[in-house]
Amino acid sequence: MSGPSPGETGGRAVGESGLMVIVRGGGDVASAVAHRLFRAAFRVLILEARQPATVRRRMAYASAIYEGEVLLEGVRAVRVADLVEARALLGAHEAIPVLADPEGEAIRVLAPPAVVDARLQKKERGGSRVTDAPLVVGLGPGFRAGVEAHRVIETNRGPHLGRIIDEGEADPYTGEPVEIEGHSRDRYLYAPKAGTFRTALEIGALVEAGRVIGEVEGIPLKALVSGMIRGIAKDGLAVAAGTKLVDIDPRAREELVSELSAKAGTIAESVLRAITTWRFVGSAATRRPGDAGG
């Protein structure tokens, strides 16, 4: 994700410059969306969990909840304690505020023109509704246009990645990760039971297959492939059974652990297009005349 896109001049987009957008979620895809919108001069607020379970923490603004601030490809995000601090940072447009607000109370209080639900809940439906804002954009499965979101963005890899959907919904979650050097699902480690995840390792560590990466309630988690830890949940995180905890990349390239991915960039560009091709009139939003969606 580098360099200006069509319709952008000097890092500022032509269109609804200065419009407030609330992004629900601060994972790697949500962060790419927030990054792109901020660069396009939108005022962006990220809402996250109080203890984010994000695995790819070095490419996610969710890490600001733990670290205080995060810098991704030139755009900084800062944890804020409340809406007073969030408003101040939104006004200054110097960084993206990140607020622990899993219930989305800020949406009710701030009444933003646009909300992007980028939590990627995959199999779950709900959590957002078209009544949340004049424009609600939902990412991936679990969103039907006109019900949970006005517009839905396809997030499954393939020829339709990034498609803007105005009728219907995104393709179902496949559950199959992309294959890298012959490895797919075996690149990940999951919580064998509910409990507390403990690890002494950090993102960027090189590991061999068979090495103990961490444990949940005394049950060890062993790497199934050799490579570099691209993502790992925060030590001490309370997790549910089946929670993804570790992502090992067999390519073992340092730049891959912190850069915004091409997939996330494609989705982010589609979100930008979905917002800038929507007309906001007072408290209501309607499509621009002649806009055909995706």
Query: In the structure encoding, which two tokens stand for residue 208, read together?
Result: 């061999």
pLDDT band for 13, please (50, 70, 90 cuts): very low
- If asked whether residues 73 and 190 sit together in one domain, one would say no
- If asked whether residues 126 and 191 sit together in one domain, one would say no
- If asked whether residues 44 and 154 sit together in one domain, one would say yes
Question: Above 70 in pLDDT, residue 244?
Answer: yes
pLDDT of residue 79: 98
189 belongs to a structural domain: yes
255 belongs to a structural domain: no
Q: pTM here? A: 0.87
Q: In whole angstroms, what is the distance from residue 126 CA to residue 122 CA?
A: 11
State the residue range of the domain holding 216. 185-250
pLDDT band for 281, please (50, 70, 90 cuts): low
Question: Above 50 in pLDDT, residue 197?
Answer: yes
228 belongs to a structural domain: yes
Query: Which range among 16-30, 67-81, 118-132 shows the weakest confidence by mean pLDDT?
Result: 118-132
Query: In the structure encoding, which two tokens stand for residue 18, read together?
Result: 């200065």
- If asked whether residues 133 and 225 sit together in one domain, one would say no
- If asked whether residues 152 and 202 sit together in one domain, one would say no
pLDDT band for 291, please (50, 70, 90 cuts): very low
pLDDT band for 288, please (50, 70, 90 cuts): very low
Query: Which range among 66-70, 120-124, 238-242, 281-285 shows the weakest confidence by mean pLDDT?
Result: 281-285
Query: Which contiguous run of DSSP H or E holds residue 151?
Result: strand 151-153
Q: In whole angstroms, what is the distance from residue 287 CA to residue 265 CA?
A: 24
Round the average pLDDT of the chain to a whole number and report it. 88
- Among 199, 28, 25, 42, which residue's Cα sits nearest to residue 112? 42
Query: Which contiguous run of DSSP H or E holds residue 262?
Result: helix 262-276
Tens of pLDDT, residue by residue over 260-272, are: 999 999 999 999 9
Count of positions (residues) in the chain:
294
- If asked whether residues 129 and 234 sit together in one domain, one would say no
- Asked whether 132 and 150 are in contact (CB, 8 A), the reply is no
- If asked whether residues 21 and 53 sit together in one domain, one would say yes
Q: In whole angstroms, what is the distance from residue 109 CA to residue 47 CA?
A: 13
pLDDT of residue 172: 85
- 109 CB neighbour count, 10 Å cutoff: 12
- If asked whether residues 117 and 240 sit together in one domain, one would say no
| Average confidence (pLDDT) over 257-283 | 87
- If asked whether residues 245 and 267 sit together in one domain, one would say no
pLDDT of residue 237: 96
- If asked whether residues 228 and 82 sit together in one domain, one would say no
Question: Above 80 in pLDDT, residue 285?
Answer: no
- If asked whether residues 62 and 129 sit together in one domain, one would say yes
| Average confidence (pLDDT) over 157-182 | 86
Q: In whole angstroms, what is the distance from residue 111 CA to residue 97 CA?
A: 16
pLDDT of residue 10: 32
Tens of pLDDT, residue by residue over 57-85, are: 999 999 999 999 999 999 999 999 999 99
State percent of the chain over pLDDT 70. 87
CATH of the domain at 240: 2.40.50.100
Question: Above 50 in pLDDT, residue 12?
Answer: no
pLDDT band for 123, please (50, 70, 90 cuts): low
CATH of the domain at 44: 3.40.50
- If asked whether residues 210 and 78 sit together in one domain, one would say no
What's the domain count of the chain?
A: 2
Q: In this structure, what are the phi and psi dihedrals at residue 231, rounded to the nearest 5 degrees?
A: -150, 145
DSSP string, 186-201: GGEEE-SSSEEEE-S-
